[in-house]
Structure formats: structure tokens, C-alpha cells
Structure 1
Amino acid sequence: MIQSKKGQILDSFIYLVVLAMTLMCLLPLLNVAATSFSSSAAATANLVGIIPVEFTTNAYGKIMEDSQFWRSFGISVIRVVLGTGINMLLTVLTAYPLSKSKWEFHTQNFYMWFVIFAMLFSGGMIPTFLVVNGLKLTNTIWSLILPTAVPIGNVILLMNFFRAVPKSLEEAAKIDGASPWKILFSIFVPLSLPCLATLTLFCIVGHWNDYFQAILYITKTSNYPLQTYIQQLSAEFDLSKITDIEKLKKYLAISTRTLNSAKIVVSTVPLLIIYPFLQKYFVSGIVIGAVKE
């Protein structure tokens, strides 16, 4: 089919807008990466574009030479694995009954209002801290996981996805004698893989990028996750404590800007590795989960 001239102009305009938005996202990332590999003088003088100036890896050496970096990295990995697993399990178990019709789940309205209220209003930072402290969870990995164990936004997305599953499949399973647990994990979960993959990505990003919870609940720096460790790194960058001349020269070649750029790159790499494996589910999971019957 031959496209009209008006349609061609519209398509060209859309392509230009998408290209502009892509460059707006990509160029700052390239600049940050280039700055992290540039010298302190070049970064301070704003001479770095998207190509490193006076290439150096001193900033990465400063971040990675401390064993605490690797300990914090391991803590973040454990947090992501445990946190995402708990998030997804509780999301599935919460969304499934809420996806049922009123005659199947008679108290659905009460729980739906409870879910909506929890999404709009929280207890606040101080009450949450008092609960975590009262349960003796401070300075443990659980203080970073349990306060956000049930992500309400994810529950609503998955609930709408479950409602899109044909009723005939569930009815046929019931006729064959399948239990509710069997129906959930044999029918609903496999059919909802696009949505589950998308929500898994949300949870991974949330746990990996969060640093503030550790500031609230973790008092031992040795128990900091990676993002909190990196956030605190600049504050602990004290040259007066360095006695080795060669090491001092190396650190003098590092500016706060190059160090911060290196922190951003290091913390972004794991997500860039994970994203391609889940990207194919991302669009379909969001679109279908957002459509309400």
C-alpha cells in the first residue's frame, strides 16, 4: 500500500522525535562513562564529551581496591535474589484472589480498598523504623527486604493480567479436580510469564538501586549494600589519612566528578547485563497488565 504524503511526513516527524529522545538518554550516559575514564584535570575543566580525555582507570581503582566494595557487592546480590523472590511470591499470592469475581471472593471489596489504601498512604518513615527496630531486624538483610515485601503497584498489574486469563481454562481444570494451588501454578503463572518477567525486572532494579533503606536500618558500614557503600564513598575520601606517596599521587589524579561517574557506571553494569534477557517481555507485560476489564 502506497502511503500518502501526509502519512510520510507524520512518520518522519515521529522518527525524529524518537531519535531526539534516544539521544537525550544516550548522550548523558556516554558522557558519564567517558568522564569516569578521564583525568581529573579534564573532568574539572569540562573538556570531556563522549570520548575519554587522558584515559585513566584511577577512579575505578579507588572504588574496587577496598575489600568492602566486594562485600557490599555480595550483600546487594543477596538482597536482590532474596528480595525479588519474596516480592514475586507475595505478589502472585496476593494478586490471584483479588483477581476473582465478587461471587467467588465475597470479601474482595474490603481487601481491594485495603490494597488501594496501602498504595496511597503509608505509615511513614518513623513508624516503619520503630517496627523494624522493635522486631530486632536492624543490621540484618531482612530490614532491607521485609518493609517492601509486597509491592502494591505490582499486585495491581498482575491482578489485571490474571483477569485476562480465559475463564474456560480455570473451569476445565476444576472439572478435572485441580485444586486452587494447582490452578494458580499450572495455569495462571505460566500464562502470565510476560507480566511476571516485567515485574521481576522492576523488583531487581528497585532492590539494586536503593541505598536509603540501608542508611535508615544499617548502622554497621560492613553491612552496607553496594549503592549505600558507593554513596558514602565520597564522604570517606580523606587524603589526610594516606601516608603512601605513590598512592597519594594516584588519588590526587581523581576528582569528585570522575569518582562519581565511575560509581554510576559500576552500579549500572549489572542492570545492563540483566535487561536484555527480560526486554522481550517488557512491553507486552506492561500493556496487558495495565488493561482493566
Structure 2
Amino acid sequence: MKKVSKSFRVFEVFNYLFLTLVALICILPFVHVLAISLSSDAAANSGAVTFFPKELSFEAYKYLAAKSEFLQSLLVSVKRVILGSIIGVGTTILCAYPLSKENNDFKARKYYVWIFIFAMLFNGGLIPTYLVVKQVGFIDTIWALVIPGAVATGNIILMLNFFRGIPKALEEAALIDGASHWTILFKVYLPLSTASIATITLFTMVGHWNDWFAPLLYMNDTANYPLATYLQNMIQASSLIKDATDPELIKQLSAIGNKTMQSAQIFLGALPILCVYPFLQKYFAKGITVGSVKG
């Protein structure tokens, strides 16, 4: 058996302690928000809630489950994430594959690279972008939230570096067998790039899910707001009760309170991404070319 030195054991202990501390720093604020959302209004406002609910109450979640605006914004967010991820990852793959080739194989490669780098550093500005979106008829449509940011240069650079790490012998063997570039991309490169695709997909999903500013620009109808924009507007509202007219609704909102309601909305807004992440995280540590070339 391999002998482990005392210094390595000390390092291992401190390493585990440090990583545990980092994990707690990331997890505890989320647990705190969950505890507030499950507490009564009086307990939440008194500051007595830490990491466990006080005076357990599910009224905030019952209210949100019955609120049509919340459910509508959730549906818009899901639709945006699905369309945005498909289009974003698709354009990233189609851009990264030719850019991963050598200059001898793709003569105009360096010009396209400079165009993408320029686009990453500079943009047309807020007003010209809005005018373009308006002129193509995307205002108040889901495409205004998906198309303008579909090509992410950072993701393209990450993807083409993964493609460049795949042994060229695989592509040469496929070309000898008569495969086209489409066949090489879909049957050679993509099966070996599940780790990079999962990473790009997660980045794209999180970006679309968390973006609240673009809908404020491109959506005139609040019914088209995704969840992030809806929550941003609700959290900024000074009071939940001031716009209510139904006596039963006023009584219900009085029992919930703003702080409890906002915490419940924040928790529900982050929950879908937290559910998706564990299924994609396992691909991050996998190699993309292990075992691809034999002998």
C-alpha cells in the first residue's frame, strides 16, 4: 500500500474543511430564504428566522399556486429556456465546428474569428438593438428574448477548444471512409463532446432563466413577462395589499406579509434550475476523448 505522508494528511483535512465552508456559504443563504418563506409574517419580520421555519405556514405557496400571473410567467420562462437552449446550443455548435479547423482547411477562418472577437468586445448599443428588434417585428413575442442573444461568443470559444482537443485521426479516418462534414460533426464530434455540450447548455439555460432586463425592453404586455421579470417587479413593489380590493384577499395577504411572499417567489424562481443542475453536473468531470483512439 502507498504510504501517505503526515503533511498530505494535514493538507487533506484543511482541504475538506475549506470546501465544506465554501459549500455552506453557497447553501445557507438559500436555506435561509426557504425558512422565511415557510414562516409566519410575524416571525419573518421580527428577524427570528435563521435556517429553520418559525410558526410553520404554507400560505405564501398556496397564494402563489392560485395566482394566474405567477403561473403564466413561469410558463413563459419555461418556453424561453427550451427555445433559447435549442437555438443557442445549436448555433454554438454550428459556429464552433468550422472555426475549430486549421487555416489550411478553412481559408477564411481568421476573418470570422476576428468578427466574433469584435462582436464580443463591442455591440451596437441599447437603442440600436431595440430598433432592430422592433423593425423585424419581434416586440411582444418570445423571439425577442431568444434571437438577439442566440450567438454567444464565449460559448463558441469554449466549444471550439473542446473540438480542437478531439484527435484529428478520427476525422481523417471518417473522411477516408467517405463521410461528409455533417456526418463527422453529428457522428464523431458530438458524441465525444457531451461534457462540453452539457456545460454550454447549463450556461445558456441559466442565462435565459435569470435574465429580467430584456423583457422590460421588448415586452409591452406584462402577460409576456418571464418569471425573473415578474419577480423583479413584485420584489420592488412596496406593498402587496395596497392594490387589493377583495376583502378576503386583503385578509389573506395580511396573514402572509411581503417578506414571506418575496422569499417564496425567490425560492420558486431558483428551484427549476437547481433541479436541472444535478443531471448536467455529472458530465463536467468526464473526459471528452478518453478511449477514443486505440493503439
CA distance in 2 between partners of 1:128 and 1:284 (Å):
39
Aligned residue for 1:171?
172
Aligned residue for 2:9?
8
Decide which of 277, 280, 286 is 1:278's aligned counterpart: 280
Structure 1 range deviating more: 16-25 or 245-254: 245-254
1:35 and 1:43 in contact (8 A); partners too: yes
1:59 and 1:258 in contact (8 A); partners too: yes
2:93 and 2:159 in contact (8 A); partners too: yes
CA distance in 1 between partners of 2:62 and 2:90 (Å):
39
1:236 Cα deviation after fit: 8.1
**264 and 132 in structure 1: CA distance in 2 versus 1, 3 angstrom threshold:** same
Decide which of 257, 262, 280 is 1:255's aligned counterpart: 257
1:251 Cα deviation after fit: 0.7
1:196 and 1:285 in contact (8 A); partners too: no
Q: What does the per-residue CA deviation read over 1:18-75, in whole Å, with 9 as the maximum and x for residues that have no partner?
A: 1111111111111110001111111111100111011112222333322122222111
The equivalences for 1:1-293 within 5 A come to 1-234=2-235, 235=237, 237-284=239-286
1:43 and 1:258 in contact (8 A); partners too: yes
1:91 Cα deviation after fit: 0.4
1:246 Cα deviation after fit: 3.3
Cα RMSD of the aligned pairs, angstroms, is: 1.8
Counterpart residue type for residue 107 of structure 2: H
CA distance in 2 between partners of 1:176 and 1:283 (Å):
32
Counterpart residue type for residue 192 of structure 1: S
SS at match of 2:124: coil
SS at match of 2:25: helix
Aligned residue for 2:293?
none
Higher helix content, 1 or 2: 1
1:81 Cα deviation after fit: 0.9
Structure 1 unaligned blocks of 5 or more: 289-293
CA distance in 1 between partners of 2:11 and 2:137 (Å):
60
Q: What does the per-residue CA deviation read over 1:81-139, in whole Å, with 9 as the maximum and x for residues that have no partner?
A: 11100001100110001000010111111111111111122222222111111211110
SS at match of 1:147: coil
Structure 2 unaligned blocks of 5 or more: 291-295
**44 and 233 in structure 1: CA distance in 2 versus 1, 3 angstrom threshold:** same
TM-score by length of 2: 0.92
Q: What does the per-residue CA deviation read over 1:199-220, in whole Å, with 9 as the maximum and x for residues that have no partner?
A: 1111111111111110110010
Q: What does the per-residue CA deviation read over 1:151-208, in whole Å, with 9 as the maximum and x for residues that have no partner?
A: 1111001100000111111111111111111111111111111110111111111111
SS at match of 2:267: helix
CA distance in 2 between partners of 1:25 and 1:35 (Å):
17
1:237 Cα deviation after fit: 4.7
Counterpart residue type for residue 4 of structure 2: Q
2:240 and 2:258 in contact (8 A); partners too: no
CA distance in 1 between partners of 2:244 and 2:14 (Å):
56
CA distance in 2 between partners of 1:250 and 1:285 (Å):
53
Counterpart residue type for residue 276 of structure 1: P
TM-score by length of 1: 0.93
Q: How many residues align?
A: 287
CA distance in 1 between partners of 2:113 and 2:246 (Å):
62
